[in-house]
Amino acid sequence: MIEILVQSLEGSTLNIWILSTAWFWPSLEIFHFIGLSLLLGSMLIIDVRLAGFVKQMNIMATHRLLPLAGVGFFINLTTGMLFFIGDPARYAVNIGFQIKMLLIIIAGLNALWFAVKISPMLIDWDPYADTSSAAKISAYVSLSAWFGVLLLGRLIPYVGTG
Spatial separation of the C-alpha atoms in residues 8 and 89, rounded to whole Å: 11
Kindly indicate the confidence band of residue 3, based on its pLDDT and cuts at 50, 70 and 90: confident
pTM score, whole prediction: 0.90
Spatial separation of the C-alpha atoms in residues 135 and 56, rounded to whole Å: 17
Instruction: Give burial (CB, 10 Å; 0-12/13-18/19+) of 145.
Output: buried
| 50-109 pLDDT tens trace | 999 999 999 989 989 999 999 999 999 999 999 999 999 999 999 999 999 999 999 999
Q: What pLDDT sits at residue 161?
A: 66
